[in-house]
Structure 1
């Protein structure tokens, strides 16, 4: 009898991306970088199997490059450390002492939720700017997590008209049924203990954070630091129609 060789496909290794930068001032970029190191420690402690990649980003197209360059279904999480708002993650190629007007007209290289807002903010022709829709969401795992650490990326604690909700809608459209996206409903800052933190103590994971799945708000929390991913996944599954 002919022997049958059964080849078991190796389990795909998951990737966690920590992307930081895009600020005009060295101090802000330094804070972003230090916080990525602190978040990375938590991932290493809680996930022994995933590969962790940490990259500096200068323009929105860098975000697209690092995400779209991964294998389909491989991204377990993405943490984005940039300035933010409801309409965009704000990145600029300007450096001090560039005044604010020139910074946003000539050096606006942000990631926008819509082309209308991109054009309104004079970024439609700026090299490096991008749209959320340029991300290939097939790259994410079914239970992926994205966390946007910039200010007011979730708008308010009860609104779903923001860039955080948009990310979660796009994940759902790509079939990522247990995925969640976390954003801030307040002004994010690295002073997790109220001020005076050393570099290795800085962290944006505090304040009012909002969790979305499939474009819908599923939880508001003031819990500090690492949110247990399996808890968020359970909420996402419960929210399925």
Structure 2
């Protein structure tokens, strides 16, 4: 994992956070750097039942899962040799099958999405958005991460990119303006893609879903 990619995710996350504060000024926000799926799962599971309205995840991604490595940071370059030798893969996988087929050099803090207590999300209208490459696509043999997540919040939405992503929205070269919310994003609900959108930045679900 390279420092420049972590930094891009950080600046992109700040811009998403600004939008949340603009549209929902009275809500409570948690903005946190994590280097393992366990941290994500634990943070979700410690929340009250039906208290989470939305979740944004900024990681290297694919249809199989979201990739994170113990010890990664914005300031330290983590080489593939480090990951392999020290078994630092602490990623979040779409399922036990995806874990079995694709997970290598794994750390004890690796998890699947089924370790999450999904009753922590509001029962209707919850949103999970994945800001990572190809995470909004599907697989032929087993289900993808967006599909599986959407089935766990059946009256909510899961948003993910159908192609590779980059943070240079509008061809920006300004780090502070970096944002992954452009290109084609798929909107999943209860196991199906109900819409694809090229809307940049904030998606207004009240308008997009009409």
Q: Same fold (TM over 0.5)?
A: yes
C-alpha contact 1:32 1:81 (8 A) present in aligned 2: yes
In structure 2, relative to structure 1, the CA distance for the partners of 1:224 and 1:56 (3 Å cut) is same
Counterpart secondary structure, 2:4? helix
Structure 2 equivalent of residue 192 of structure 1: 169
1:41 paired to 2:18? yes
User: Shift of residue 97 of structure 1?
Assistant: 5.5
1:118-165 deviations in Å (ceiling 9; x for gaps): 133345852110010011110001211000000000126xxx942111
CA–CA distance in structure 2, aligned partners of residues 68 and 193 of structure 1: 37
1:144 paired to 2:126? yes
Specify the structure having the higher radius of gyration (Cα): 1
1:53-105 deviations in Å (ceiling 9; x for gaps): 101111011110111111110101000001100001011126546335x5257
Which one of 64, 70, 74 corresponds to residue 47 of structure 2?
A: 70
Matches within 5 A, 1:1-150: 24-93=1-70, 96=77, 98-99=79-80, 103=83, 106-123=87-104, 126-141=107-122, 142-150=124-132
Q: Which has the higher strand share?
A: 1
In structure 2, relative to structure 1, the CA distance for the partners of 1:37 and 1:191 (3 Å cut) is same
Q: 5+ residue gaps in structure 2?
A: none
Structure 2 equivalent of residue 218 of structure 1: 194
1:168 paired to 2:157? no
In structure 2, relative to structure 1, the CA distance for the partners of 1:97 and 1:124 (3 Å cut) is closer
User: Shift of residue 194 of structure 1?
Assistant: 2.1
Q: 5+ residue gaps in structure 1?
A: 1-23, 236-241
RMSD of Structure 2 on Structure 1 (CA)? 2.4
CA–CA distance in structure 1, aligned partners of residues 62 and 116 of structure 2: 19
- State which drifts further: 117-126 or 71-80: 117-126
Structure 2 equivalent of residue 208 of structure 1: 184
Aligned pair count reads 204
CA–CA distance in structure 1, aligned partners of residues 45 and 25 of structure 2: 24
CA–CA distance in structure 1, aligned partners of residues 207 and 83 of structure 2: 41
- State which drifts further: 109-118 or 75-84: 109-118
